[in-house]
Amino acid sequence: MCMAAALLMTVACQRSGSTPHGHDHGNDHGHDHGASEEEVEPIAITRWTDDYELFVEFPPPQPKKPVRYHAHVTRLRDFAAVKTGRFSVRFERAGTKVAETSIDRVARPGIFTPEGKAPAQGSYELVMQYEEGGTVALFRCGALAVPAKPPPETAGGGSIAFLKEAQWAIPFGTALASKRAMSRELELPATIEPASSEQLTMAAPISGRFFHRESAALASGQAVQKGDTLGTLAPNAEGEDLGRLELAAEQSRIEGQRVQREIARVRPLVERGLLPEKRRIDLENELLQREAARKSAEQRLGRVLAPAGRGGLPLRAAVSGVIAEVVAPNGEPVASGAPLLRLRGSGELWARARFVSRGSADMAGAVPAAVRSLDSTRLSLAEGARFLSAEPVVDATTGIATWVAALPVPDGSGAGGDAGEATARAPNVGASVVLIVRAGERRETLAVPASAVVEINTVPYVFVQTGGEEFEKRRADVGFRDGEYVEIRSGVQEGEHVVTRGGFDVHLATLAGLVESHRH
């Protein structure tokens, strides 16, 4: 809002300037009208190429007298002001150059101010050209007469004035209204769930307590790799007496020490041949048995005494994918075979839509196109999204239809879509979304980007650029939407430029009292 207010103040100040152009650019940008005190409406021309927009103003030329041009050049790739380059103006007759003037630098970003003498009285073809590096943008501006006498002052038509300096300072963009092959979009409430073929339930191999991993909390939507440790299962110690476990561990330790002392006593006797080698070997085998008994007793005792999650059986992911559901809470006692986690593969989700049954004609050729989350983020679906059945399944009693769509998510993080749509992560399992479905036959209709439609007090409007700095606010009759485009039934003509970014800023210009004839 601060930016918008600042821009409006800038526009208002520029409108009050004394230059014929109406922009307060100082001496570098004034127009030389000679000694005449009578102000005449300047000539304003707007032209486009695929890469650039030209908006130029200049006073009506008089034979053999200097003309100063005020040319604004906008790069359409990002709707920014150009900062370098060469700009030229020439008068042609029958394809032959009669007069030309040029300038090799901008006076300010986006603005060139070449000045040169007009040709003699007559009718000419006006051509302007912008060059930068190896790029050449040619603007054919149509026929222009150089009369013997200057034209009288004329009153300009009403329009919304929104200067180039303001356009360049904000996110701004336009697009052509054009005919496109489109089909209707339907919106169905749906719930995201894992695809049955992509789901794996991890169960407890034995009874015990399930402790989540300490490195990162387990949560739905987390990606895991095959072999990742997801937690530990501490086996139950039911019926185990703590004192008996401690005694068994201590007895095993003492017996092991006794055997070690006996081996130390026997070894030198065996070496001197006083005892057989078999005696030493038997003692070493007994020591191994005692060590095994000690370790088993200490492990049983450790499972009872160990802190949560330590000393248990590690549970690892059997497949790479995403955690769809955490069934057992941290530290929860579970029986053998009880589900602990559900994993899903990263390749596909299901959207289960439930809605009041519609006529079969409404659903003809329906294809899942996008999902919209609760925060209104629209995510286009990857190629291959499909319904699992040809038609919805309708409950004969309630009339409620159920239709399941498979939503491919190739990289596990989201799916790209039409240009301009938000890039978002795939929705989590269990999320409530709106499934957007394209249905019906595609037909050619006039359309504009959906971002061109601005709702003001719930009424849709479109701002049409009629000149470089001139706009018209038109009420639009909006039809159906298909992807990032919306049908326009009235309010815009094919080939007109509509504002796709910055439309509300243009609207603010009208609220600031800047609707006026675009005099310069």
Which has more confidence, 407 or 74? 74
Is the pLDDT at 423 greater than 90? The verdict is: no
Interval 110-120: pLDDT, tens = 999 999 999 99
Q: Is 479 exposed, middle or buried, given 0-12, 13-18 or 19+ CB atoms closer than 10 A?
A: middle
| pLDDT of 152 | 63
Interval 118-135: pLDDT, tens = 999 999 999 999 999 889
Euclidean distance between the first and final Cα of the chain, in Å? 28
What are the CA-CA distances from residue 267 to residues 22, 273, 275, 283, 284 (Å)?
111, 10, 9, 10, 11
Is the pLDDT at 380 greater than 70? The verdict is: yes
Which of 326-340, 402-416, 489-503 ranks highest by mean pLDDT? 489-503
Percent of the chain with pLDDT over 90: 31
| pLDDT of 26 | 42
Mean pLDDT estimate for the chain: 80
Mean pLDDT of 452-469: 89
Is the pLDDT at 156 greater than 60? The verdict is: no
SS (H, E, C) 317-363: CCCCEEEEEECCCCCEEECCCCEEEEEECCCEEEEEEEEECCCCCCC
Is the pLDDT at 19 greater than 70? The verdict is: no
Per the structure block, which two tokens stand in for 14? 């520029």
Neighbour count for residue 29 (Cβ, 10 Å): 18
On whether the CB atoms of residues 278 and 180 are closer than 8 A, the answer is no
| pLDDT of 1 | 45
Q: pTM, whole model, 2 decimals?
A: 0.55
Is the pLDDT at 519 greater than 50? The verdict is: no
Interval 240-296: pLDDT, tens = 555 666 677 788 888 888 888 888 888 888 888 888 888 888 888 888 888 888 887
| pLDDT of 110 | 95
Distance of alpha carbon 301 from alpha carbon 272, whole angstroms: 43
Is the pLDDT at 426 greater than 90? The verdict is: no
**H/E stretch holding 369:** strand 367-372
